[in-house]
A = this chain, B = another copy of it.
Amino acid sequence: MSTEIQNELEKMRVKIIANLDEQKAHDFRIAFLDLHVYEQAQIFADLNVAQRARVYRYLTPDEVGEIFNVSEEEPALLAGYFEEMTPRYAAQVINSMYTDNAVDILAFAKKKNLAKYLKLIPSEDASEIREMLHYEDKTAGAIMSTEYVDIVGNQTVRSAMHIIKSEALEAETIYYIYVIDDEEKLVGVLTLRDLLTNDDDIMISDIMNTPVMSVQVTEDQEEVAQTIKDYNFLALPVTDYDDKLIGIINVDDIIDVIDEESTEDFSGLAGVDTEQGTDNPFMNAWTRFRSSALPLFLGFITILLVEHYENLINKATILAVFISMITGAAGNAGTQSLAVAVKRIANNDDQETSWFSTILNETLTGVIVGFCSGLIIWGIVGVWKANFVLGFVIGVAMLCAITFANLVGCVIPMLMDKVNLNPSIASGPFISTLSDVTSLLIYFSFASMFLKFFIGQ
């Protein structure tokens, strides 16, 4: 966004905080409510307890609800803010929010507070919230919104437009209108564009689109994201087990899902949660240490392994020289095939290609990369050390190590996926340490086999 606007915002921000501290309720309302709600949320996030207390006095529950709807603060934090309000005010805020957003926050509210709020909310909305609180995390049900427009088919465009206008302020989106039958089953969908481009007297049932693409309430959010991406929908309806329409998922919720999922894959590959990054090095150190602890101890296996061959190294210390190169190459190969596998699973490409062909493909890839790398090493070491046997040993070890690493890198995440574990937690560090062990095992067993051919040269 342009810098003028940014400076503009900064000025407003300062002015607003000042108004708040000087308790100028009126000036505060004027300036604050003039901002885009996302900017309001940004300012709100920087306030202290005392300032927030004033905001609750100066703004209506609906105005605060708007802010909570778009706030990017941790849900747990926002749940804490509810406790700063009177239960009645909090209940009004909750009631004015879109159900999906409210539920995200209430999931972190203390049981007794939650009960208090729900008692103060119209029973119908309260039971809706209770219901949604039970949907499993990362399913369509957990991210869907219940503020949508549904109409019956046997009416004209004109009457439909009336309904839409009347519900326009409540609904989270009015650009898709869903048509249901008398059993609330989803039977068709219209865009607002369809309504505007058709005559007022045409029947909805004649112009609605069928069949409607929809997702089950228990569907994984990643599937939902994929469908919305593929079809360029602005929203997707959610149905329960007997095809009743119970909610919609909007594209802006899906953008968050896409972000979330890709960050998950990315973090998994590095073996560190890249979103947890704080300014507190001790916190950071702890999250990183946790994820490097397992590789560290796996590392001891490598140590025992190499120690087992200490004698061999004693005879030909030159072998030690190539340890890091072999483990390095294997580690990189492993991480690469891990990355490819994780992405393939995320994109659901594995539905098209069979398990077997994927593994075969990865193995072949490994063999080819390994062969080329091995050949280069063989040549260089052979010439450099005037010892082509040694070069051969290292080259072949390289070939096997890379091939195996490729295999591990793709098989492990696929296995995890089959048993419904998130493949992205097969972290890079884990894979590369695993490749270390195997590659060294291969390397040294080869070396000991051929020892007599190059030792002492």
Contact = CB atoms under 8 A, between A and B. Distances in A.
A333 B433 CA distance: 13
A190 interface: no
Which of A281, A353, A376 gathers most chain B CB within 10 Å?
Answer: A281
Contact of A272 (B271, B317, B340, B429): B340
Given A223-B1, A299-B328, A331-B432, A197 B213 contact: no
Contacts of A168: 193, 196-197
Interface in A273-327: 274-275, 277, 279, 281-282, 284-285, 288-289, 291-292, 295-296, 299-300, 302-303, 306-307, 310, 313-314, 317-325, 327
A316 to B, nearest CB: 10
A36 interface: yes
B357 A281 contact: no
Contact of A353 (B193, B266, B274, B279): B279
Contacts of A335: 270-271, 335, 428-429
A313 B306 contact: no
B302 A310 contact: no
Contacts of A258: 255, 258-259, 262
A269 B272 contact: no
B329 A327 contact: no
Contact of A321 (B161, B271, B303, B339): B303
Contacts of A266: 262, 265-266, 269, 339, 343
Contacts of A285: 364-365, 368-369, 372
A432 B328 contact: yes
Nearest to A368: B285
A216 interface: yes
A169 interface: yes
A267 interface: yes
B211 A288 contact: no
A54 interface: no
A102 interface: no
A43 interface: no
Contacts of A161: 196
Interface stretch (A13-21, A55-63, A89-97, A224-232): A224-232
Contacts of A432: 328, 331-332, 432
A91 to B, nearest CB: 25
A152 interface: no
Given A258-B255, A267-B339, A302 B279 contact: no
A270 B251 CA distance: 30
A392 B229 CA distance: 55
B1 A213 contact: yes
Interface in A238-257: 251-252, 254-256
A356 to B, nearest CB: 12
A417 to B, nearest CB: 16
B340 A259 contact: no
A127 interface: no
A328 B295 contact: yes
A24 interface: no
A164 interface: yes
A72 B263 CA distance: 24
A31 interface: no
A55 to B, nearest CB: 21
A119 interface: no
A234 interface: yes
A338 B270 contact: yes
Nearest to A168: B197
Q: Give the 3 A-B CB pairs with smallest separation, nearest first.
A: A270-B339, A285-B368, A281-B364
Interface of A: 1-2, 5, 8, 36, 38, 70, 72, 161, 164-165, 168-169, 174-175, 192-193, 196-197, 211, 213-216, 223, 227-232, 234, 251-252, 254-256, 258-259, 262-263, 265-267, 269-272, 274-275, 277, 279, 281-282, 284-285, 288-289, 291-292, 295-296, 299-300, 302-303, 306-307, 310, 313-314, 317-325, 327-329, 331-333, 335-336, 338-340, 343-344, 349, 353, 357, 361, 364-365, 367-369, 372-373, 376, 380, 428-429, 432-433, 436, 440
12 contacts: A36-B231, A266-B269, A266-B339, A281-B361, A284-B340, A288-B365, A292-B332, A295-B328, A302-B325, A310-B320, A313-B313, A324-B327
